Chains A and B, each alone.
Chain A
Amino acid sequence: MVTGLEVKSLSVLSGRGEPLLDRVSFNLAQGERIGLIGASGSGKSLTAGALCGLLRPPLSARAMALRFYGNDMQALTPRAWRALRGTTIFQIFQSPGTALNPARKVGAQLVEAAVTARGCPVRDVADALKRVALDPEVARKFPYQISGGMKQRVLIAMALLLRPRLLIADEPTTGLDVLTEHEVLETLATMLDATGAALLFISHDLRAVRRVATRTLVMEAGQIVEDTAISALSTSRHSGARALANAVETLEGRC
């Protein structure tokens, strides 16, 4: 199994030197889909920020190793980070509106992404929209004219065009109704099948995580307290992880 992402003893410190992330370690294999779950404030989004080189002072990150397909991510210059983000590591956020330019139509933004990053033919934009179950007419709309679930699918269409090797999805379905969440997760799986990208799916909702991932990391107070297959979560030695699995089992009838 090829290791795509290697994270060894990653810590993030506040301006006062307090550890907000405390020696987080995990590996993500090529094409693997894992969930990162935990309560608000447990450090999930900080992990994503550190992995994308998005942390800014006073926060600081350090790690014994942070490698992506063998390349040392800690040695990257800001320019090299910009080249990596989007095309190689693609991130989807909870608020998709913040990732889209409000003053440009959806189609123009997809074309720009496709042409500048990979030189994809423009006709691929309509195809990408179809593959995420969006009407190609959406290309003619501004972001404010489409719903939150549609915006998330536009970003997934962008990922289809850019074909990243790793997709980091940070609470991408929080705030969506359960049917829209279902549709977004289905299109996400379609995109992953098509591109072979690995997935780090960050969420406080185990119900959403287990729809797209097979393995999960559980975070608590800046540390990873469990790393296991989702099917084994109910027998975890960690009481918080077991409680999560049992809650989902009670809500949905099984886990």
Chain B
Amino acid sequence: MLNLTKLSKSFRGTKVLDNIDFSIGAGEVVGLIGRSGAGKSTLARIVVGLETPETGSIRLDTQEITPGKGDARRRIQYLWQDPIQTLSPYLSAAGAVLETLHGFDIGRPQTRRARAQDLLASLGIVAQIAARKPHELSGGQCQRVALARALAAEPDVLILDEPLSALDVTSQLGVIDLLRRVHAKRSLSMLIVSHDIAPLRLLASRIAVLDGGQIVEDLPLPRFFATARHPLSRAYISTMKVQSDAA
């Protein structure tokens, strides 16, 4: 579905992505994990045209694309890390979804409002909440509205940059459950950028580890936990073990 070939990017002389080849299959959910500053978000931002790579190409299906331009702008949607800052403070939840429907000319104009309400309701945002603006919503609710706005574009690929890191554990579980349902219903391809392996265990079918500008491990989920060899992969797996259990 999405193929990245020989992608490179530097910041102030430091190579963050170094000739990376990476792909996401149709309907596949891939978790991309790495330390702060490893280049995970840079890779995600390149895919949606928010950063320009120094070298490399990106193909959607078989066609080379310019990220953020033409139909790729609709087909690849991006969910930001901070769910509150991602939404316009001037638009209600319903208004944010409507804006996307208008912008991409999706559905008949007279049915768009109902379509936006239905989409929000399917993600647990009822009409009363849909009338509220971001500052009147919780972090978890903002994340749902941002997801509804992205899904309104009817994308083929959803890029999620740390979608859970601003949420407490109970809200995290709610969003994880939501993403699983969305994936089951729409068979979207997803790239989930995370610094934490625990939610990826519940969401991803494959885990890739980014370190020193390279993908140092890339394995299907069960094999990752059983056979991953890179020290960073092992360190992430070890964070799932609780020291106080042994004490």
List the interface of chain A (C-beta within 8 A of B).
Answer: 39, 147, 176-180, 182, 186, 189, 204-207, 210-214, 230, 243-244, 247-248, 250-254
A177–B198 touching, CB < 8 Å:
no
The residue of chain A having its C-beta at the shortest distance from the C-beta of B139 within the complex is: A40
Residues in chain B within 8 A of chain A (CB atoms): 35-36, 168-170, 172-173, 195-199, 201-202, 232, 235-236, 238-240, 242-244, 247
Given contacts A210-B242, A230-B244, contact A177 B169 (CB under 8 A): no
Closest beta carbon of chain B to A133's beta carbon, Å: 14
Q: Whole-angstrom distance between the alpha carbons of A164 and B227 in the complex?
A: 43
Contacts of B238 in A (CB 8 A): 182
For residue A212, which residue of chain B has the nearest CB? B244
* Cβ–Cβ contact A178 & B195, under 8 A: yes
Which residues on B sit within 8 Å (CB–CB) of A243?
170
| Chain B interface SS verdict (over half) | helix
> Chain A residue with minimal CB distance to B243?
A211
- Given A207-B198, A251-B199, A189–B243 Cβ distance below 8 Å? yes
Contact (Cβ within 8 A) B169 A179 = no
Question: How many inter-chain residue pairs (CB < 8 Å) link A and B?
Answer: 65
Please provide the 7 A-B residue pairs with the shortest distance between their CB atoms, ordered closest to farther.
A177-B195, A247-B169, A178-B196, A251-B198, A177-B36, A247-B170, A247-B173
- A residues near B195, Cβ cutoff 8 Å: 177-179
Q: Are A179 and B170 in contact (CB under 8 A)?
A: no
DSSP majority for the A interface? Answer: helix
Other A-B pairs, 14, CB within 8 Å; known A177-B36, A179-B195, A254-B242: A177-B195, A178-B198, A179-B35, A179-B235, A180-B35, A182-B238, A207-B169, A214-B247, A247-B170, A247-B173, A251-B173, A251-B199, A252-B198, A252-B242
Quote the shortest CB–CB distance from B178 to chain A (angstroms): 14
Q: Which of A177, A230, A243 lies at the interface centre, i.e. has the most chain B CB atoms within 10 A of its CB?
A: A177
Given contacts A204-B168, A207-B169, contact A250 B202 (CB under 8 A): yes
Do the beta carbons of B169 and A206 come within 8 Å of each other? yes
Also in contact, A179 and B239, with CB within 8 A (given A250-B202, A251-B198):
yes
